[in-house]
Amino acid sequence: QKEVEQDPGPLSVPEGAIVSLNCTYSNSAFQYFMWYRQYSRKGPELLMYTYSSGNKEDGRFTAQVDKSSKYISLFIRDSQPSDSATYLCAMLWGGNQFYFGTGTSLTVIP
Amino acid sequence: DAGVTQSPTHLIKTRGQQVTLRCSPKSGHDTVSWYQQALGQGPQFIFQYYEEEERQRGNFPDRFSGHQFPNYSSELNVNALLLGDSALYLCASSLDWRSTDTQYFGPGTRLTVL
């Protein structure tokens, strides 16, 4: 079993839709959770960083962490074609070794 | 403020050869981590350098080695290249390997092994 599981998609939605991206994890020691966006053939770009259960909002993006269920989500409101990318969840427990999901490919259709 | 930079952008090698990839961290960062990202996969942790020493290592063979210089820049060396080493190699920098500060990634070096 992988430490971090993420549905690879692909996910295709119309412009303006609400997008929900999810990851589950097995290691209950994970304390810090991140979402990265990666455009084709580019390095990952940090979107959200959280370290506790609950919600964190930043513009059109909301990160949600449920440690009891070992489940994290990223919601994108009013999705735009420029949001089309691969979204990676990442997590760590102390130290600085990040564990990544496989990424979910998202396409927002104009 | 320059972010993380990597060179070269692309590289083509043949099996059995050796390759060196380079990374300069974000200004003010002293910790460099290297990741391998195969096509359609998430990044896999290779190792991390801080104060010119390898501090953590993922599940990669000894063919993968690295170095960090006094100016915090880093190199990743891969010997005896295999076809399976073809991937995007990402460098990430952060503040202090013991902290949980997040990492900032460079654009990557795409390595193709023929």
Of A41, A88, A96, the CB nearest to B56: A96
Asked if residues B30 and B96 have their Cβ atoms less than 8 Å apart, the reply is: yes
Positive or negative torsion for Cα A69, A102, A93, A34: negative
Confidence at residue B71, expressed as pLDDT on a 0 to 100 scale: 95
Q: CA nearest B38 in A: which residue?
A: A102
**Which residues, at least 6 apart from B55, have a Cβ–Cβ distance to it below 8 Å?**
A96, B31, B47, B48, B49, B97
Residues 8-27 of A with CB under 8 A from B: 8
Please count the CA atoms within 13 angstroms of the CA of A36 that sit on its side-chain side. 27
Task: State the residue for tokens 């023929």.
Answer: B114
β strands within B27-108, DSSP E: 31-37, 44-50, 53-57, 64-68, 74-78, 87-94, 104-105
Best of A96, A98, A102 to disrupt the B interface (most B CBs within 10 Å) is A96
Q: What integer is the mean pLDDT of B75-87? A: 97
Average confidence (pLDDT) over A60-75: 95
pLDDT in tens, B9-66: 999 999 999 999 999 999 989 999 999 999 889 999 999 999 999 988 999 999 999 9
pLDDT given for residue A15 in this prediction: 97
pLDDT classification of B102: cutoffs 50, 70, 90: confident
Measured in degrees and rounded to the nearest 5, phi and psi for residue A31 equal -125, -20
